[in-house]
Structure 1
């Protein structure tokens, strides 16, 4: 095994769901003059002949995922891709396919299933080895496929009007992204409250709320640039002041003072460690 460096050489592409593809209708594309068809999925590989492996394990409808991404990838011009769906555990052939790939793409579904089936397996080990060692390797995920990537994930949470104690559950993820928590379909499903709750509990983490057809392309594990037609909301609780998050009783509302919020759109960059923001 190659020696692992502390800074990953590969890239992460985390997508908020409903990226422009065969089965979606991106609502904003007729209004946003910066809209580019298939902009996000075109970031998977630079050479269209490079190998992409699509992991559909999170989905309850893997055949539908296969049909959708087959059509979309062919429209983009990708010629070398395959699909991996395992229910119990991956086989040696799947591990070899990971090692031979240039991009891995996790579809949506249930982030808990991805972590349960994938974490601490030879398949995950092979993925991490390539991510840390190869500068032309991309790990991408949409919706649940993006939420599973950090060290800490939201495995269950309410999208309610109030943040209530005991309405969110955090767990360990795949560990590809440090000191961040990712949420998806963020604007459309009104998830500001639950991501804010998560970062108030884990104040060392930066909250990344990905809108639909919107992504962050992350290099060196921290340098992120926004791509897509919508927006990413960044939330930091590092300077949190008055709050009852640690003392509130079950079923009662949580409050917090001095959350820091960023609105990040196409071309904007942010350092996920320092919070430094750069406009296009």
Structure 2
């Protein structure tokens, strides 16, 4: 398991996070324009793409794997393999490891993030995926549960629609691909702002990333986050948090958090992960 980095200064560019990582809020368009999936396809080499689909988070991995296999096959990927890992021993499968050495992109599907981490964390397959992502050799995408596990600290479950409180969120360890963040997905669609705030009260050194459905935060090589899709990416910066009652109150008591900074970004907006600031937006299509 990757070790959590110490809190990053706003000007330092740490080596813990590399890019070509697409963090998708779930329910991405799979029928019409498929903009987000098309972007992963092109980032992985387009017609030369060799793609590994990992449906381990799903309770129906065959159906989930076949669905994405058809989508990327229709786009024209050169080669696609579904890594149907259902127990930890399969995380050492030499055939899967050989394919990871050849692939140009890895796609983690949705489902249950606890299941995904339980099956993949610290396995040779996941460690090799991590190595190749950090070496900037392959693209990585995760949707829904596959997005939630990108941080080292991960929201494993919890409620929604309440005031922030300690009992609202269950934290666990993720895959640590982007240690500086904690992600919540299906964000406004499932009213999860309070859940993400509850997580940040526990880990104010992390950057909170709340991603709506059919929306993607693309983590680029230069440390920028580019937003695409039909919804928003909500970034909560607690680096200047001046007060929280989190350590003192009971589990169900409401939390106070003072000094948070919230940015709501939509298609074309950009944000710098390490400088903690919004950047000039890209030119948008009408």
TM range (shorter): 0.7 to 0.9
2:230 aligned residue: 229
Aligned residue for 1:40, secondary structure, equals helix
Pairs within 5 Å for 1:1-280: 6=15, 10-22=19-31, 37-44=33-40, 45-89=44-88, 90=90, 91-135=93-137, 137-220=138-221, 222-278=223-279, 279-280=281-282
SS in 2 for 1:48: helix
Instruction: Give the SS at the match of 1:166.
Output: helix
Aligned residues: 262
Partner deviation per Cα, 1:234-263 (whole Å, 9 max, x = no partner): 111122234211211122111222221101
Q: Which moved more, 1:235-244 or 1:189-198?
A: 235-244
Is the Cα contact below 8 Å between 2:53 and 2:69 reproduced in 1? no
Cα distance, 1:7 vs. partner? Answer: 5.6
Task: For structure 2, list consecutive stretches of 5 or more residues without a partner in the other structure.
Answer: 1-13
Q: Deviations over 1:23-52 (max 9, x none)?
A: xxxxxxxxxxxxx81111112223223201
Cα 1:214/1:6, change in 2 over 3 Å: same
What is the distance in 1 between the residues matched to 2:232 and 2:17? Answer: 25
For residues 141 and 76 of structure 2, the distance between their equivalents in structure 1, rounded to whole angstroms, comes to 18
Superposition TM-score, scaled by structure 1 size: 0.88
Q: CA deviation at 1:76?
A: 2.6
1:29 corresponds to = none
After superposition, the Cα gap between the structure-2 partners of 1:151 and 1:56, relative to the gap in structure 1 and judged at 3 Å, is same
Shift of 1:221: 7.7
Summarize deviations over 1:77-99 as a string: whole Å, max 9, x none: 33421211111122111111111
Gaps of 5+ in 1: 23-35
> Compared with structure 1, are the counterparts of its residues 8 and 235 closer, same or farther at alpha carbon in structure 2 (3 Å cutoff)?
closer
- SS of residue paired to 2:110: coil
Structure richer in helix, relative to its length: 2
8 Å contact kept, 1:157–1:168: yes
- Aligned pair in 2 of structure 1 residues 269, 123: CA closer, same or farther (>3 Å)? same
Q: Please give the root-mean-square deviation of Cα atoms over the aligned residues, in Å.
A: 1.8
Q: For residue 168 of structure 1, report the CA deviation from its aligned partner.
A: 1.6
Aligned CA distance change for structure 1 residues 75 and 180 (closer, same or farther; 3 Å): same
CA distance in 1, matches of 2:250, 2:65: 45
**C-alpha distance 14-164 of structure 1, shift in aligned 2 (>3 A):** same
> 2:27, 2:63 → 1: CA distance?
14
Kept after mapping to 1: 8 A contact 2:46/2:76 = no
Cross-structure match for 1:28:
none
